């Protein structure tokens, strides 16, 4: 991941040069499948005040609109008088900003390099499909978390549920934009793809993530359980197979 630490960056290049450089990094990082964190003085006034300034809210919102994977507080929570309020204010701003629909010009986030692997190709196809079909959610089975990473490089208006049994991958994927990691509760064998489809449909209905009749995308590898084997994309109508 890349952190845009704007304090140190401003010392090196001058404060006036920081905003365009930040935007350039956010445009270029998806080309290299690299998550980005924007940090430093995002809600600095909340070190001593219980509410942020409008400029700070705009700063956080613009980072989200530009495609950052994460925004970070530092002094506001480490030494500030209102750490909980600062977290809540940043959370509200991110949630409200992410409600904005993705424009066609924003969909690919400068992803121009050709896919280097089957799983990256499947991930890109899945995200492109969300813009031409009424997809409610994506469920991706992943061992390493890479398929979820590749998907998160594309902006979309649907959540990506990343299912994995690997503890390290669960933690890693919490950083990826629009990705919701979920622990797999069943060990699937190499030929268990049909059962995995049924389990995903049940999860979607039981957890109120989708309704019967909704369309979702599933990606998985065959044989299942092998890292880097994602080679299958399925469009599933929820409730059809369960």
Residue 234 bridge partners (DSSP): 218
Is residue 217 in some structural domain?
A: yes
Domain at 232, CATH number: 3.40.1380.20
Clarify whether residues 83 and 137 are in a common domain. Answer: no
Give pLDDT tens digits along the chain (242 positions): 899 999 999 999 999 999 999 999 998 888 888 999 999 999 999 999 999 999 999 999 999 999 899 999 999 999 999 999 999 999 999 999 988 866 544 555 555 567 788 888 999 999 999 989 999 999 999 999 999 999 998 877 899 999 999 999 999 999 999 999 999 888 888 788 888 889 999 999 999 999 999 999 999 988 887 777 888 999 999 987 65
Does residue 70 belong to any structural domain of this protein? yes
Question: Are 173 and 55 part of one and the same domain?
Answer: no
Same domain flag for 53 and 73: yes
Q: Please indicate, yes or no, whether residues 119 and 203 belong to a single structural domain of this protein.
A: yes
Tell whether 185 is covered by a domain: yes
Same domain, 86 and 120: no
Question: What pLDDT is recorded for position 54?
Answer: 96
Residue 116 sits in the same domain as residue 224: yes
Q: What is the pTM of this model?
A: 0.85
CATH code of the domain covering residue 94? 3.20.20.60
What is the reported pLDDT for 187? 81
In this structure, what DSSP letter does residue 102 have? P
- Shared domain check, 11 and 114: no
Do 86 and 151 belong to one domain?
Answer: no
Residue 52 lies in a domain: yes
Look at residues 98, 133, 152 and tell me which one is the last residue of a structural domain: 98
Radius of gyration for the chain, computed over Cα atoms and rounded to the nearest angstrom? 19
135 and 218 within one domain: yes
Instruction: Give CA angle at 13 (12, 16), nearest 5°.
Output: 135
Q: What is the pLDDT of residue 106?
A: 52
Domain that holds residue 178: 110-237
Last-in-domain residue among 98, 118, 147: 98
Q: Give the pLDDT confidence score for residue 16 in this predicted structure.
A: 94
For the CA atoms of 167, 143, 150, 221, the dihedral, rounded to the nearest 10 degrees, stands at -160
Residue 104 covered by a domain: no
Does 93 share its domain with 120?
A: no
Sheet holding 160-164, edge to edge: 179-183, 160-164, 135-141, 215-221, 230-237
| Closest by CA position to 84, among listed 114, 51, 126, 129 | 51
Assess if residue 204 is contained within a domain. Answer: yes
143 lies in some domain: yes
In a domain, 103, yes or no: no
* Euclidean distance between CA atoms 83 and 81, whole angstroms: 6
My answer on whether 42 and 92 are in the same domain is: yes
Domain boundary among 98, 125, 151: 98
- Nearest-CA neighbor of 153 among 122, 116, 127, 133? 127
Tokens 């365009």 sit at which residue? Answer: 20
Q: How far apart are CA 206 and CA 67, in angstroms?
A: 31
Tally of domains in the chain: 2
pLDDT of the residue at 31 = 85
Together in a domain, 78 and 121: no
């Amino acid at each position: 991941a890349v952190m845009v630490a704007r304090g140190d960056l401003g010392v090196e290049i001058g404060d006036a040069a920081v905003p365009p450089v930040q935007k350039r990094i956010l445009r270029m990082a998806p080309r290299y499948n690299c998550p980005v964190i924007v940090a430093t003085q995002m809600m600095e006034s909340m070190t001593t005040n219980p509410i942020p300034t409008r400029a700070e809210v705009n700063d956080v919102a613009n980072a989200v609109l530009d495609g950052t994977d994460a925004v970070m507080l530092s002094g506001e929570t480490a030494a500030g008088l209102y750490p909980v309020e600062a977290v809540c204010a940043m959370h509200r701003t991110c949630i409200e900003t992410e409600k904005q629909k993705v424009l066609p010009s924003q969909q690919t986030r400068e992803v121009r390099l050709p896919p280097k692997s089957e799983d990256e190709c499947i991930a890109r196809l899945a995200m492109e499909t969300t813009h031409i079909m009424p997809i409610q959610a994506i469920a991706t089975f992943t061992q390493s978390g890479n398929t979820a990473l590749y998907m998160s490089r594309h902006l979309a208006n649907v959540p990506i549920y990343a299912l994995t049994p690997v503890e390290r991958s669960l933690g890693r994927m919490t950083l990826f934009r629009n990705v919701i990691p979920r622990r797999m509760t069943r060990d699937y064998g190499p030929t268990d793809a049909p059962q995995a489809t049924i389990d995903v449909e049940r999860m979607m209905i039981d957890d109120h993530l989708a309704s019967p009749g909704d369309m979702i995308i599933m990606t998985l590898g065959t044989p299942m359980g092998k890292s880097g084997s994602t080679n299958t994309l399925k469009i599933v109508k929820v409730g059809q197979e369960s």
